[in-house]
Amino acid sequence: MSIDTAKGHKDMDYPEHVRTYNGFIQLTKFAIIFLVILLSAMAFFLVRH
């Protein structure tokens, strides 16, 4: 991800902001994958007839 920080505020820590955003995106991806696996397992084991 590339952000033009040339016109940004001098006190803003842009590299830390980018690291935090990337961490949030990674956590979101893993949470979605985990929930898909969990719901699939629940459907398989709990709704068998």
Distance CA 32, CA 47 (A): 21
Q: What is the pTM of this model?
A: 0.72
More confident residue, 5 or 34: 34
Q: Where are the domains of the chain?
A: 15-49
Q: Residue 8 is encoded by which pair of tokens?
A: 């940004």
What confidence tens digit (pLDDT) does each residue in 2-28 have?
A: 667 777 788 888 889 999 999 999 999
Q: Residue 34 is encoded by which pair of tokens?
A: 């985990």
